[in-house]
Amino acid sequence: MKKDQVLDQRHRPLRDLRISVTDRCNFRCTYCMPKEIFGDDYQFLPKDHLLTFEEIVELTKIFVELGVKKIKLTGGEPLLRKDVYKLIAMLSKIEGIHDIGLTTNGVYLKKYGSKLYEAGLRRLNISLDAIDDDTFRRLNGRDVSAKTVLANIDYAVSVGFSVKVNMVVQKGVNDHQILPMTEYFKNKGIPLRFIEFMDVGNTNGWNMKDVLIKKDIVKMISSVYSIEPIDENYFGEVAKRYRHQDTGSEIGFITSVSEPFCSSCTRARISSDGKLYTCLYAHEGFDLRDFIRSGKSPEEIKMAIERVWQNRKDQYSVERTENKGMLNKNKIEMSYIGG
């Protein structure tokens, strides 16, 4: 198949693919899978609804034909998917992929870290919202200690992974952790990225007044540390990066609320049951699993994906910011589509 460049309605190319490998999670983060909603009787996807590794690989190859260069595996918690390291090994062999990453809450890294590394994974985004134990236990909804994740971050670094830590900031909930987290990861030399609390899904009770925006976080950090902005690495880089002037350690900001980056959004997402979404805030996906399982050829699937991307107009964050608040939409949940 010939390599194509496909552009959407806002002239954005398709470059990144986020693949969710499960909708299940061992955490119940209050801002993502509140336990009042994701309780014991919550109906997760049945196993046979999930894309198999072979189906994921088949689809990924087609996405690469359409311009994808970067893959990120996510979830739910991707390390809950049985033998996910085997999928990494299969994806690593696909020619044309420059980069494979995985986003995890870090709990199972001790168990699977070395297998993932051997399979070819090199980049990990590890989520951690506080180093204070009480705050972290409350936020993850499962009483897991921050020490567990901190130890696993050290372990991942010792295995050889390039690690970034992601912290979702909520005003009045964990903003008192911004400076301790900054100090801790500055000393470790591990990049720390602050994520503005987003109105993904319909269950996390999002309100603009709970969002601490980048400008205020920068002000808070600058009152103690000397930091300076760094230039963008590449078109569409999601994080706005800064560095500590003394050590060079990096911090970054994912500013979906205060400075939306839709104009350079080159990301497609596949849910674990094989639906293609062109925006984190979408409410409808295109069923690729049905295409594969009904025996459509790679060429037919490629044409279908191409059409979906060419029709893409999404820029939810820009519209929310213009609207100065959440837009009323029946959005998919973050744990279903992945971050």
Instruction: Establish whether 279 is an annotated binding residue.
Output: yes
d(CA 183, CA 206): 28
**Interface segment toward ligand SF4; rule CB under 6 A; list 46-54, 63-71, 178-186, 310-318:** 310-318
| Residue of 219, 217, 192, 197 whose CA lies nearest to 207 | 197
Q: Is 231 helix (H, G, I), strand (E, B) or coil?
A: coil
281 part of the interface to ligand SF4, by CB under 6 A: yes
Instruction: Establish whether 69 is an annotated binding residue.
Output: no
CB atoms within 10 A of CB 180: 13
Indicate which single residue of 22, 30, 60, 104 sits in contact with ligand SAM (rule: CB under 6 A).
104
Indicate which single residue of 8, 23, 65, 77 sits in contact with ligand SAM (rule: CB under 6 A).
77
Residue nearest to ligand SAM (CB): 339
Buried b (16+ CB within 10 A) or exposed e, 1-35: eeeeebebeeebbbbbbbbbbbbbbebbbbbbbbe
Instruction: Establish whether 148 is an annotated binding residue.
Output: no
* DSSP output for 243-295: EETTT--EEEEE-TTTS--GGG--EEEE-TTSEEESSTT-S--EEHHHHHHTT
Partner that binds at residue 331, options ligand SAM, ligand SF4, none, CB closer than 5 to 8 Å by kind: none
| In contact, 88 and 55? CB cutoff 8 Å | no
How wide is the angle at C-alpha 333 spanned by C-alphas 125 and 42, nearest 5°?
110
Binding residues for ligand SAM, how many (CB under 6 A)? 21
d(CA 41, CA 16): 34
d(CA 212, CA 215): 8
Q: Restricting to residues 9-68, name those near ligand SAM by CB under 6 A.
A: 25, 31-32
195 part of the interface to ligand SAM, by CB under 6 A: yes
317 part of the interface to ligand SAM, by CB under 6 A: no
Q: Is 79 helix (H, G, I), strand (E, B) or coil?
A: helix
Instruction: Establish whether 2 is an annotated binding residue.
Output: no
**Interface segment toward ligand SAM; rule CB under 6 A; list 81-89, 103-111, 224-232, 240-248:** 103-111
Minimum distance, C-beta of residue 272 to ligand SAM, in the bound complex (Å) = 11
| Residue of 285, 287, 280, 288 whose CA lies nearest to 316 | 280
How wide is the angle at C-alpha 216 spanned by C-alphas 328 and 265, nearest 5°?
50
Indicate which single residue of 102, 174, 315, 332 sits in contact with ligand SF4 (rule: CB under 6 A).
315
**Dihedral over alpha carbons 322, 323, 327, 332 (to 10 degrees):** 20
Site map 190..229 versus ligand SF4, x via CB under 6 A? ----------------------------------------
Q: Restricting to residues 126-185, name those near ligand SAM by CB under 6 A.
A: 127, 166, 168
Nearer to ligand SAM, 269 or 289 (CB): 269
198 part of the interface to ligand SAM, by CB under 6 A: yes
Indicate which single residue of 16, 77, 196, 199 sits in contact with ligand SF4 (rule: CB under 6 A).
77
Partner that binds at residue 316, options ligand SAM, ligand SF4, none, CB closer than 5 to 8 Å by kind: ligand SF4
- Strand-pair partners of 254: 195
Under the rule (CB under 6 A), what is the footprint of ligand SF4? 25, 27-29, 32-33, 75-77, 105, 127, 260-262, 265, 267, 279-281, 314-317, 335
- What residues form the annotated binding site for S-adenosyl-L-methionine? 31, 76, 127, 198
- What residues form the annotated binding site? 18, 25, 29, 31-32, 76, 103, 127, 164, 198, 262, 265, 267-269, 279
Under the rule (CB under 6 A), what is the footprint of ligand SAM? 25, 31-32, 74-75, 77, 103-105, 127, 166, 168, 195, 197-198, 200, 204, 334-335, 338-339
